[in-house]
Structure 1
Amino acid sequence: MSDSLPVVERMPVERPAGCPFDPPARLAELRSRAPVTPLRFGDGHQGWLVTGHAQARAVLADPGFSSRHELMHLLDPQIIEVPPAGPGQFIGMDAPEHTRYRRLLAGRFTVRRMRSLAERVQRLTAQYLDDMAARGPGVDLVDAYAFPIPAQMICELLGVPFSERAHFQHLGAVANQADVPMEDKLAAFQEMGGYIADLVERKRARPTDDLLSDIIGGDLDHEELVGVGSLLLGAGLDTVANMIGLSTFALLTHPDQRDALHADPERAVEELLRYLTIAHTGFRVALTDIDLDGITIGKGQTVAVSLQAANRDPARFASPDALDLTRQAAGHLAFSHGAHQCLGQQLARLEMKVALPALFERFPSLRLDVPPQEVPLRAGDDVYGVRHLPVAW
């Protein structure tokens, strides 16, 4: 079957004009033809692109597919060789190394633990809504609301001084932007590591009630602590902020969905996660020859898993291109799947479930302050979203 499929020469990234929430249309075309298709990577490697939901789920659940960075080929032609994940950077590791870190941290991100934080999220949300009201009636929602709530929550969990957020916010932006030269990205990663290293030493000297202070007393060495701290800080800042910002944009352009948001915030959040899928692509490498949907993925071949295409698969979700907050969207892959499913997913759900309804309850007349086509998007970035979202009420 694979012999009859033409090679896709580059990953589709161009989103449809005037449709900022839809994946590249080419992904849907490829999925309708074959949910597993040959793909040329940036260095010329011929790997595979997976666009179907069932096939994506199978890849992500199969331990025969590795997450080790050093085995991967990437889409960016600037990157010919990927170094191994550093100490503590467990998203680029397989079992048993990945399992060791995951077990250490999993208990700190359980559903029960996140429920205990609900009151704190509610207080923060009320605080930033008050600040918006004082600054308004026009603000950049990203700066005034979408970023500071998850930023302050992850800072408090890790024990990072929120007053220092401007520094690491800038570093995170540099590291994740598509149009930033690779040497600048690496420099940002290194500077973030240096910041966390200094923070770890401060916690050793004067521990506080936070995750970093807690795990310092365990079996992780200094480099591992720095790696874990950098990873959690970066992930907790960027992803939820973009989900709140882009979800607000989607709700402002789909006002018919507001009632459903208030009626059942939990269901609404799951649909927004499916519909938007901001962490749009994952990568795995076959450790041995693996049959996937009748196609042999050869040992050493890299697979690009299009989570955004999988979450729009009509074989799994009816009318998948429609935003329907009454939909039962369980089974979406916005947080990936399998052993590497997002560790902080329950915190992200909590923050969205509180922040989004509260925003529209406080400002029922909330509206875009620019035409929709003028909202600046993070096109091509590793995490999709809005750079700014000018709103008024």
Structure 2
Amino acid sequence: MSYPMTRQRTFDPPDELFDDPAPVRPLTFADGHQGWLVTGHAAGRAVLADPRFSNNPRRMHPLLASRRLPEGEVPPGFFLRMDAPDHTHYRRLLTGQFTVRRMNLLKSRIEEIAADCLDDMERQGPPTDLVRSFALPIPSLVICELLGVPYEDREQFQRDSSRLLRLESSPEELAATVGDLIKYVYTLIERKRAEPGNDMLTGLIGGGELNDDEIAGMGFLLLVAGHETTANMLGLGTFALLQNPEQLALVRDDPSVIDNAVEELLRYLSIIHFGPMRTATEDVTVDGTLIRAGDCVALSIPAANRDPGRFPDPAVLDVRRPASGHLTFGHGIHQCLGQQLARIEMRVAYPALLRRFPTLRLAVPAEEVPMRTDMSIYGVHSLRVAW
């Protein structure tokens, strides 16, 4: 099957990723030390699935570790940066909270949240910033539901969460915001001990296997991982669809394409643009290349998701494409725990937005949309739209 659409520079990874066809190639990091860059889909899966590659910053080169976590230390409960068996222990406890029943129950609440956001947009009228009025509130409020944030706290919780994505936020402001959110999670834990609810924090507390530091670390991980990436996908995905009107019309008018559309947008946009990072704990051969113990490996998810050996005509967007198998949610033991929730949010949000506002359009020229291009996340800082 071919996908005869034009290549669009705004959404494409750098050409340099494709200049060398080798799926594993040498990479010189900013401080001059040598490592490896993985761009092939099969090689990327192999690295992510191999326990001989560590995700712990303490095993990394100091420069890279400092970019991952301050002082290279892993906070209690922040199992995203741990290896087995610690990772296995924490993930098992949290997996029990991501039940199919809870995710199914959340779908109707997500539909309500999306409808409320759209009602507010309609009342306020165009133009509006879709990120602040739609893309950010939906995952932020869903996380409130998961963590059991009281209604009276949700407005402040959303404000603090949104500051994590603001273009104008300084490093000092971001650090202060992180501190405020972690303090709030501790406060919330105290409330849940006194007044248990039907939420994840209550479930983690009730299990009796974790102390407050561990629960707070897991709660903050849920907050960051649970709203930031989904918010970026909702904003950037809408931008991509607005630049591809035929694809937008399919998502708006044909309910049968939405599952494939979400997977294709995840593949096409990737949003995690540098990393994940791994360190070899022993000599490992990947796709014929010997990676020595102690070598750092950077994976390019956008390049892996544009690998023509895995996805035909990978540089074009087609929402009918069966794009399962992409690496946007990772692979192996660190594959995103909340991926099904993110999918539900996107499956609800995109059609709801496009059906409510069938004439949705950019309110600024595409080249003036402020893009988020920091070290790891690719997205839009704002997306001014009209209808």
TM-score by length of 2: 0.90
**1:64-83 mapped onto 2 (5 Å cutoff):** 64-73=52-61, 79=67, 82-83=71-72
Please point out which of 41, 47, 53 is paired with 2:35: 47
Q: Distance in 2 between matches of 1:184 and 1:334?
A: 29
1:195 Cα deviation after fit: 2.3
Distance 1:71 1:82, change over 3 A: farther
Please point out which of 339, 355, 360 is paired with 1:366: 360
| Contact 1:41/1:76 (<8 A) preserved | no
Partner of 1:172: 164
Alignment of 1:158 with 2:128, yes or no, is no
Question: Structure 1: which 4+ aligned runs deviate by more than 4 Å?
Answer: 74-82, 177-181, 183-188
Partner deviation per Cα, 1:79-107 (whole Å, 9 max, x = no partner): 59852311000010011110111111113
Alignment of 1:338 with 2:320, yes or no, is no
Partner deviation per Cα, 1:212-263 (whole Å, 9 max, x = no partner): 1221122101110110011101111211011000010000000111243233
Please point out which of 248, 256, 270 is paired with 1:258: 248
| Contact 2:164/2:174 (<8 A) preserved | no
Alignment of 1:294 with 2:288, yes or no, is yes
Partner of 1:22: 12
Distance 1:57 1:229, change over 3 A: same
Q: Which has the higher contact order (CA 8 A, sep 6+)?
A: 2
Distance 1:200 1:249, change over 3 A: same
Partner of 2:120: 131
**1:269-308 mapped onto 2 (5 Å cutoff):** 269-280=262-273, 281-308=275-302
Q: Distance in 2 between matches of 1:329 and 1:158?
A: 31
Q: Distance in 2 between matches of 1:331 and 1:139?
A: 35
Q: Distance in 1 between matches of 2:352 and 2:214?
A: 38
Alignment of 1:386 with 2:380, yes or no, is yes
1:41 Cα deviation after fit: 2.0
| Contact 2:135/2:234 (<8 A) preserved | yes
Alignment of 1:197 with 2:186, yes or no, is yes
| Contact 2:18/2:303 (<8 A) preserved | yes
- The secondary structure found in structure 2 opposite 1:108 is coil
Alignment of 1:223 with 2:213, yes or no, is yes
Alignment of 1:242 with 2:226, yes or no, is no
Partner of 1:318: 312
Partner of 1:38: 26
Q: Distance in 1 between matches of 2:162 and 2:111?
A: 26
Partner deviation per Cα, 1:184-210 (whole Å, 9 max, x = no partner): 655543333222122212222222221
Please point out which of 53, 59, 76 is paired with 1:87: 76
Q: What letter corresponds to residue 249 of structure 1 in structure 2?
A: F
Q: What letter corresponds to residue 220 of structure 2 in structure 1?
A: S
Q: Distance in 1 between matches of 2:299 and 2:277?
A: 6
Partner of 1:63: 51
Distance 1:117 1:290, change over 3 A: same
Partner of 2:97: 108
TM-score by length of 1: 0.89
1:39 Cα deviation after fit: 1.0
Alignment of 1:207 with 2:207, yes or no, is no
1:296 Cα deviation after fit: 0.9
Alignment of 1:329 with 2:329, yes or no, is no
Partner of 1:96: 85
| Contact 1:66/1:94 (<8 A) preserved | yes
1:356 Cα deviation after fit: 0.1
Q: What letter corresponds to residue 257 of structure 2 in structure 1?
A: D
Q: Distance in 2 between matches of 1:178 and 1:286?
A: 37
Q: Distance in 2 between matches of 1:123 and 1:187?
A: 32
Distance 1:26 1:305, change over 3 A: same
1:69 Cα deviation after fit: 1.4
Distance 1:128 1:113, change over 3 A: same
Q: What letter corresponds to residue 119 of structure 1 in structure 2?
A: S
Distance 1:227 1:265, change over 3 A: same
Distance 1:64 1:216, change over 3 A: same
Q: What letter corresponds to residue 121 of structure 1 in structure 2?
A: I
Please point out which of 342, 346, 357 is paired with 1:348: 342
